Amino acid sequence: MRAWGSFLSPLCSAASLLAAVHAQQYQGTPSANTLPPVDGATVEFFRINDTLGRNSTLINYFSLDSDHDRSKVTRALLINTAFDGRPDIHFRAARDARNLATLNNSAVQRETAAILVPLWFDPGDNVQGDALVWTEGANYSTGDDNLHPADRAVSSFDVMDQILQWFDSEYPNLAEIVVAGHSLGGQATHRHAAVGAVLPLRPQVKVVHYIADPSSYVWLSRSRPGPLPRSHCPGFDDWRDGLSNYPLDYSAELVAAGAGAVLARFQIRNVVFAHGLNDTGENAATCGPFTTGATRKDRMLNFIKEFPPDPEDNVDFLPGVSHNTHEVFTSEAGVQRLFLDNFDGSGWRAPDMGPRQTSFDSPDPGPRDHKHRYEILPHELCS
């Protein structure tokens, strides 16, 4: 990766970018691209800053026109794409989930629920100009710096932070932001939840990480449940599967503080784990995930057993759903988490959904309010 140089801390880094992000709307440089048209979406160019203050452009599908009424937006989604790298497919899945949500709550409309899906990587190398591109899905999902443009360097996790800050600064009545991903997008979302900066968002804005059927989780200790013994996988704890040999400047101080510090960071997040019960896949890019479970389902169950979710978090099982983003997002539980929970800002969330799968995964006892988890102010971050 290209070095950014050291910075005081991931928290101070996030705060220092806030002023620049606040005025960011649609100020990126339009770039030639081959994104197909999608009903209900426009292609927008967002300005992204690296830690040296240099500008680049992130290409996105966005559900709102540039002149939309910001006061109407109460929900915003940032969708992380799967290995196919197709933001059009993921936008359609989120759009269709929103349309289903409208049937349950007429307040959920295009003008009240913003959907943003970045073009994280471009397998065809068709992006030009100063548009940000990562080499492939695995790199964006681990927080690596961009590949293009060559004279800019920004972690994909820093980009996510800037988008969250932009949502917070632009929408005065925003109640909740959902960072959502399925498959490789779930990996990106989970890793961002683990090492992402604590952002100085307004207390009333809740951030939820929706993690659906990743093939691997960043394990927050050196223990592993198997079935593959650690001795059979020498790099079992290397970063993306664990916290050793962490190569990023982003949140380097947090990770250097140890697994306990990262676990504490993860535990302040609002998290939803989701698994499609027809997803029986076991594939993984490295041997590391097999030290945490034989299949995607096993890995999720082992993770929540080893690191039990907060009572305010959710664990959902989706009957009849396979390893398919559209099926996950448009499932009853997917629609609930992406759009209906806390839509009015009351904090209300549905209890865990779907049939329980293990004795330790008892269903949540019922709806509950959330506590505010983002009440740190910028001056407290860097003092």
Which string of DSSP letters, residue by residue, matches 230-276?
GGG-TTTTBBTTBSBT---STTHHHHHT-HHHHHHHHHTSEEEEEEE
Structure tokens at 348: 């209300």
Per-residue pLDDT at 190: 98
Per-residue pLDDT at 364: 61
| Residue 92 near residue 333, CB atoms below 8 Å | no
Q: Is 62 helix (H, G, I), strand (E, B) or coil?
A: strand
Q: Tell whether domain 24-381 is in CATH 3.40.50.1820.
A: yes
Structure tokens at 260: 């306990």
Structure tokens at 76: 């915003």
How many other CB atoms are there within 10 angstroms of residue 58's CB atom? 25
The list of the chain residues with pLDDT below 50 reads 1-25, 365-383
Per-residue pLDDT at 122: 65
Between CA 35 and CA 51 the distance in angstroms is: 28
270 has which bridge partners?
Answer: 208
Domain ranges of the chain: 24-381
Per-residue pLDDT at 124: 55
- pLDDT tens readout for residues 90-143: 999 999 999 999 999 999 999 999 999 999 876 555 566 788 888 765 789 999
Per-residue pLDDT at 55: 87
| Residue 197 near residue 251, CB atoms below 8 Å | yes
Q: Is 170 helix (H, G, I), strand (E, B) or coil?
A: helix
Identity (one letter) of the amino acid at 142?
Answer: T
Between CA 112 and CA 175 the distance in angstroms is: 11
**pTM, two decimal places:** 0.88
Listed residue (344, 338, 321) closest to 90, CA to CA: 338
Q: Which helix (H) or strand (E) holds 176?
A: strand 176-182
